[in-house]
A and B are shown apart, each in its own frame.
Chain A
């Protein structure tokens, strides 16, 4: 069976066929837009203060947003031990990069020596 047949004959389900998924996406988007027209607030006016973001606190500061680097801090915190290790590997030192090449070549040569390759 060719890959073409594999896709279009054995797996024509909604989970795979991108054209069906696209059609579904458009239908859902239209439904949301239609629902928006029916139920969302009608007193929205473009070009007024309504469109400005609401932030409490000191609004004079321009960087009141949560910064990109603040995102996923919990993920990083939880994996702190892992990041300490991998950060030290990505230190920008060309000598270390070469050592990793030598290390990988050595491992592969050991595999040959051990008859595994």
Chain B
């Protein structure tokens, strides 16, 4: 049974998604319980896979349709033809992030999203989001990567427009759908370039035979740039505030993780497909790294300056998602620049730490930004608007939400002892050794981040208690509080014990991305 966990983690939510409407015929509570059970079981499976990976110390390979899941090469052939899942440290790191975020988002939405006939669709689509994320994080096959990205994109765009009676929600969903469709079309063209040359979709096989022809490099651009757009990197980030702000709060929290799945694609293709430090013929990693750094710095700066002047709370937070993606790109970009340096001294001295900081920030960002978006959901619930000018005094009535918001705001600003500090200090210190100017920009962006969250705190939480502007006065459902509590706990625990997270999750993730370095 345990050897089939890689495929079960994908198929359980997939089958659950289509069973839920049937279960709902009995009672909607049965559907909710079944969905929760399915997502919980995925979380357990991902944890078991992480433990197995840690025990075995080598990537887990699962071949579909073979006599044995470990049979990579069919009889008589010297290259793989079957669909293959490959789980290394980076895959499991991302899968754990996605699974936890979807679990918490679902718990939040159990009572937050109104129970009406459309709730079936909501639950199905959230399940399919999980399928898409886990599938593209586990697959070792380019075409399946495309398929899972499509599943993720379609389900996400439908969820963005879930509140269809709002003025801009359908248009936001349409935008997300178009952005995703164009991105995946580019990706498919890039994959076709590879298949036409090498006759295989298998990433590991292609990594071994790639010749870095002009067509290969064009394929790299066609695959990586649209994925960067889906991850919200500058200058292709404009869709992010439009989509994030219109989606229901728990969906926005899950969308952060979905965008990071695209970022996973950028890193996975750049390293596992194109990265080949033992070959003489390779990409110019220096230029590639600087492209990633420039995109990162621009994302940080433009994201935070745009956030500072917003007064729509969800748009403000969405711009911060762009800004935080910049930190991840900066950390990994510095690692990429020094990746191919002769002797690997610079990579060993600070490049690896920079990459660890960037990758650690992915998980931290998913949790604290998820928490912030969930608190924004409570703000919208209470005041019936996203406009900060029309809010005040929430700290008087929602003390727990206030504490959660403070934790999230301090974490995103890199204030100790929260998790944002742990990853940002790694980025600051390692990037400083590469270029002090870049580290100073990163620190300055954190100051502006804190300033803009002070603005939200001032607008929504401070001020006198005013019952006249409250739309819903009822106590928060227990599931909403519990979901925020889980994120709050994770944000604090990962900040207090960053060494353990680095040792058991981040270091294996970096080792999975750049094996042998």
| Chain A residues in the interface with B (C-beta under 8 A) | 2-4, 6-8, 16, 18-19, 21-22, 25, 52-53, 62-63, 65, 67-69, 71-72, 75-76, 79, 82-83, 86, 89-90, 92, 94, 96-98, 100-101, 103-105, 108-109, 111-112, 116-117
Contacts and interface: CB of A to CB of B under 8 A. Distances in A.
Contact of B309 (A72, A96, A116, A117): A72
B425 interface: yes
Interface in B191-240: 214, 217-218, 221-222, 225-226, 228-229, 235-236, 238-239
Contacts of B502: 2-4, 7
Given A19-B417, A67-B311, A72-B309, 6 more contacts: A2-B503, A65-B463, A69-B311, A94-B179, A104-B228, A112-B217
With a 10 A CB-CB cut-off, give which of A7, A18, A79, A104 has the most chain B CB atoms: A18
A80 to B, nearest CB: 11
Main secondary structure of the interface of B (DSSP, over half): helix
Interface in B379-393: 388-389, 391-392
A16 to B, nearest CB: 6
Contacts of A89: 235, 238
Interface stretch (B51-59, B431-439, B491-499): B491-499
Contacts of A101: 182-183, 225-226, 229, 236
A109 B498 CA distance: 40
Given A18-B421, A79-B305, A101-B225, A4 B287 contact: no
Contacts of A8: 499
B106 to A, nearest CB: 30
Given A3-B353, A90-B306, A69 B221 contact: no
Interface stretch (B248-256, B339-347, B450-458): B450-458
Interface string B473-504: 00000000000000000000001101110110
Contacts of B141: none
Nearest to A25: B417
A76 B311 CA distance: 13
Contacts of A90: 238, 241, 306
A86 B305 contact: yes
B330 interface: no
A100 to B, nearest CB: 5
Could you say which interface size class chain B belongs to? 35 or more
Contact of B392 (A4, A65, A69): A65
A93 B369 CA distance: 26
Interface in B166-180: 174-175, 178-179
B291 interface: yes
Interface in B274-291: 283-284, 287-288, 291
Q: Which 4 A-B residue pairs are closest in the complex by CB-CB distance?
A: A68-B459, A18-B417, A68-B388, A69-B311
Contact of A117 (B288, B311, B468): B288
Nearest to B464: A53
A47 to B, nearest CB: 13
B236 A100 contact: yes
A68 B311 contact: yes
B236 A104 contact: yes
A7 to B, nearest CB: 5
B238 A4 contact: no
A65 B416 CA distance: 31
A7 B242 contact: no
Contact of A72 (B183, B235, B455, B460): B455
A117 B283 contact: yes
Contact of A68 (B179, B291, B458): B458
B422 interface: yes
A7 B287 contact: no
A60 B458 CA distance: 21
B179 A18 contact: no
A101 B385 CA distance: 32
Given A76-B309, A90-B241, A4 B389 contact: no
Contact of B499 (A7, A53, A75): A7
Nearest to A68: B459
Contacts of A25: 417
Contacts of B306: 86, 90
B389 A18 contact: no
14 contacts: A2-B502, A3-B507, A4-B499, A6-B353, A18-B417, A62-B468, A68-B389, A76-B308, A90-B241, A98-B178, A101-B236, A105-B221, A111-B287, A112-B217
Contacts of A103: 235
Nearest to B425: A16
Contacts of B459: 67-68, 71
B466 interface: yes
A13 to B, nearest CB: 11
B9 interface: no
Contacts of B425: 16
A97 B175 contact: yes
Contacts of B507: 2-4
A21 B417 contact: yes
Contact of A105 (B179, B186, B287, B455): B186
Interface in B389-408: 389, 391-392
B187 to A, nearest CB: 12
A68 B455 contact: yes
A103 B222 CA distance: 12
A104 B225 contact: yes
A53 B229 CA distance: 47
B175 A94 contact: yes
B236 A117 contact: no
Nearest to B313: A68
Nearest to B224: A108
Given A90-B238, A90-B306, A19 B214 contact: no
Given A68-B456, A105-B225, A97 B239 contact: yes
